[in-house]
Structure 1
Amino acid sequence: MFANVRKIAALAWPVLIGQLAIIAFGVIDTAMVGRYSAIDLAALGLGSSIYISVYIGLTGILTALQPITGQLYGARRYGEIGEEVRQALWLALVLMALGFSILYFPGPLLRIAHAPEALRERTVAYLQILSFGLPASLAFRVYSSLTNAVGQPRLVMILQVGALLLKIPLNLWFIFGGAGVPALGGPGCALASTLINWTLAIVGMTLLVRLNIFRPFATFSHFCWPVWKRQAALLKLGIPMGLSYLIEVTSYTFMALFIARFGTTTLAGHQIAGNLGAVLYMTPLSIGIASSTLVAQALGAQRPVDAHTLARHGILMACAIACCYGVIVLALRPFIIAGYTSDAQVALAAMPLVLIVIVYHLFDALQITTAFVLRAYRVAVVPTVIYAVALWGVGLGGGYLLGFNVSGSIPEWLTGARGFWVANAASLAIAGIGLALYWRTVSARHRRAEAHTPHTDPVA
């Protein structure tokens, strides 16, 4: 077990540092904008919820490149990897047009929140600026999916840490103004993110050409048009993956939209709890990505028993660390909240939500690690159904019933934002357990198939 843990940790720690650098974007945005104005902080919470839904849904489709190229890499079919990357870039171009239209014209989504005009105006400005950075974000996701699939997460980490170093001064400049630039508030951090996203995309595509590790793939050796067979394979896996991401994130997005009806103070408290949950989420996400890489390579090399063992150890590792995080957050809860806001009312609203985050995170770790393992097996449809039933049905539907006390008999402590968070935690428990049980079935099927298949050389 410890040998596998070391393998997973060796790939997970660069992913974790890189993901923490990216999530630090949100932490920095929240902390800086929170000191600019409460209305801008509320707009940031509302706008980022919408943006993340679009971003995660679209990049989730492109993430199908990772298990596909991971299996090809394990089978040493290097020539096919470059073709898959070219096809993924064509797909990114189509997805960009869809995402841009949603972000630049967010009116229909904002009407759900019944946001006041001032809040709506700031949110629209924030989203429209981010829409111009979306194409770069999609291109960089292609780069990161490839590098993770071939076991080179440090090449992503270095760029993400560098982006964080740029983010801090750009945020200060655009949010608070200076050197001829007016104070933009919340939209200022969107402008900083857009400029950084384009920098990441340009550097990432350059590295695909220049670095020796990528040369066997010959990604840009020649031009090619979209190939329907390969596009269909990407979409067959990518659409349910993107939909599962979308279900996961929109359950949070619509929770934010509904919580906005309780006022800006409650929404700001919710933003703090959500941001903390996102920071904690980065560790099991990193373990999931690392486990998925190793599992996909093992499956490509026709070693399903090793794939099963790696997957099991990755899941256990993520859940154990989540328990440790829960103890830390419980002990340091007041200090953590004080780091986000100096507003006593916002801190009071955040306090009970952060307590729920402790339970929420344990089941979040279980579900995300297991989901990534299943993607390594190129299985995505059933997990998407599990997500839909759990997160939309129990999480969002149950949250609406509790939060707004639809029945009129819900205890007061379980209404409002607390009701939404309790229901969401319950939904993650159902999703995590369901995905874990399904993974055991999928893994057993692969091991039985291998046991009845004559050994062949996996090298094509």
Structure 2
Amino acid sequence: MKETRNNTTRIAALAWPILVGQLAVIANGVIDTAMTSRFSATDLAALALGASIYVSIFVGLNGVLAAISPVIGQLFGAGRFRDIGVEMKQGAWLGLFLTIAGCMALLFPTPLLSLAHASPELNDKATLYLRTLALALPATMGFRLYASLNTAIGRPKMVMGLQVAGLALKIPANALFIFGGFGIPAMGGPGCALATTLIAWTIFIASVVILHTNPAYRAYGLFGTGFIRPSWKAQRGLLRLGIPMGLSYLIEVTAFTFMALFIARLGATSLAGHQITANFATVLYMLPLAIANATGTLVAQAIGAGQPETARRVGVSGIRLAAILAVSIGCMVWLLRGLIVQAYTPDPAVVAAALPLFFFIAFYQLFDSVQVTAAFVLRAYKVAVVPTLIYAVALWGIGLGGGYVLGLDPFGISPPALHGAAGFWLGNSASLALVAAGLLWYLRTVQRNSRPQTA
């Protein structure tokens, strides 16, 4: 019992600055949604469309780059500090290659936008939004390397400080570019993207200065150790873990992305209601994600230190903590759903579209919390292929496929109550339950196989 409390305390101590930083990042999306909704419903729908595509690309690329985290965590646990700098430089090369691919997708988004069957006005605004964010991608990928390093070595407060500073700049920057002022024309939804781009470059430059000047990072050999070319062996090692990790992130996010694209066929009001619900669900997701990050970091460090039993116990403690908090939060969301939706928008039609969907985000919190924590623990063991297959079958097959059948009812078999966005949300909730069960089963197998064999 004492060891369980100690593990929970260690996870919480590492998780809270991660949570604050993540909430600061997500608050940017909340601010975008709230401020754009006061500009026009059309701009809010365009924001929902553009953001769903950007998040898919951004999260997929970040998932691949996130392979650096368990690698650094294990090196840190083993005390191999100089090797951390070498891996970071290889991670920088990987980040550059991924950025080029991501920018091409953002600059030419027509194939993805065509899936929504949206109006020309929505498409034009969403295209401008995405092309503007292509300018932000190099900075956001660079900052992700900084964040991965600090989280893996147990210094998340260094990341949190910059993320909170970025949030402080968001409201005035948004106000300027969305509504116009000082000679700058009102841009509506695309103005959010310009504000995001300027802030992304500001905090990235600050992160580079910190790494270069703070003596706490000198032991890792990040600077002054010479130029290192991209190594195929190192890149292959990162990609072997990063590609399935990136695919799992991409699968998880595209489950929401394609929900938005399909719901767009139902009109701007339905899409705006879905955007509010999805945005708040993302805010709630930050707590289990922070716990998952902290748990995965401590598990990776224990594995690097050659302590498999400690790694197992920390993993169990993290999953338990995430589950307990999820049940409490789900109850509060259901009780306060009316106030939450009205805080997003004053539009009665959008409120009516969003309120029924809050039933789903109230009860699926348990499944979402368990699955993300189990996934991060598996990644700490450098295991990602089987979890990715579980994500693909459940989220794309059951979640998105089932949601399409229920929500759009192409076969005429869905109950009327599940027509529209509600059918998509039910399918997504059921798929998350399957993912949580599958990942817990596989984690037990991995942990059992990682224990030292006794004679």
* Shift of residue 242, structure 1, vs aligned partner: 0.4
After the TM superposition, which residues 42-441 of structure 1 pair with which residues of structure 2 at under 5 Å, given as runs? 42-221=45-224, 222-441=226-445
Q: Unaligned stretches of 5+ in structure 2? A: none
Q: 1:420-450 CA deviation, whole Å, 9 max, x = no partner? A: 000000000000110011001101111145x
Equivalent pairs counted in the alignment come to: 451
Distance in 2 separating the partners of 1:284 and 1:366: 8
| TM-superposed deviation, 1:407 | 2.2
CA distance in 1, matches of 2:78, 2:335: 47
Alpha-carbon displacement from aligned partner over 1:87-115 (angstroms, at most 9, x marks no partner): 00011111111100101111000110000
Show the counterpart of 1:11: 14
Partner letter of residue 64 of structure 2? I
Q: TM-score, structure 2 length as denominator?
A: 0.98
Identity across the alignment (%): 55
Give how far 1:229 is off.
1.1
Secondary structure of 1:181 counterpart: coil
Alpha-carbon separation, structure 1, partners of 2:213 and 2:241: 30
Shift of 1:239: 0.5
* Structure 1 SS opposite 2:118: coil
Moved over 3 A (4+): none
Gaps of 5+ in 1: 453-460
Measured against aligned partners, the alpha-carbon deviations of 1:280-310 in whole angstroms (never above 9, x if no partner) come to 0000000000000100000000001000000
* Partner Cα distance (2:89, 2:69) in 1: 13
Separation in 2 of the partners of 1:237 and 1:142? 16
Please name the residue that 1:41 is paired with.
44
Q: Distance in 2 between matches of 1:355 and 1:130?
A: 33
**Which secondary structure does the structure 2 equivalent of 1:54 belong to?**
helix
Shift of 1:199: 1.1
**Aligned AA (2:361):** V
Deviations 1:309-364 (A, max 9, x none): 00001001011111111111111110000000100010000011111111222211
Q: Secondary structure at the match of 2:186?
A: coil
1:22 maps to which residue? 25
Shift of residue 214, structure 1, vs aligned partner: 1.1
Give distance in 2, aligned partners of 1:404 and 1:235.
38
- Deviation at 1:406? 2.2
The residue type paired with residue 188 of structure 2 is: G
CA-to-aligned-CA distance 1:384-418 (integer Å, 9 cap, x gap): 00000000110111111111112212110012110
Q: How far apart, CA to CA, are the structure 2 residues paired with 1:399 and 1:409?
A: 13
CA drift of 1:220 comes to 2.0
The amino acid of 1:396's aligned partner reads L
- Could you tell me which amino acid in structure 2 is paired with residue 390 of structure 1? A
Letter paired with 2:259 = M
Secondary structure of the residue aligned to 1:184 is coil
Q: TM-score, normalised by structure 1?
A: 0.97
Cα RMSD, aligned residues only: 0.8
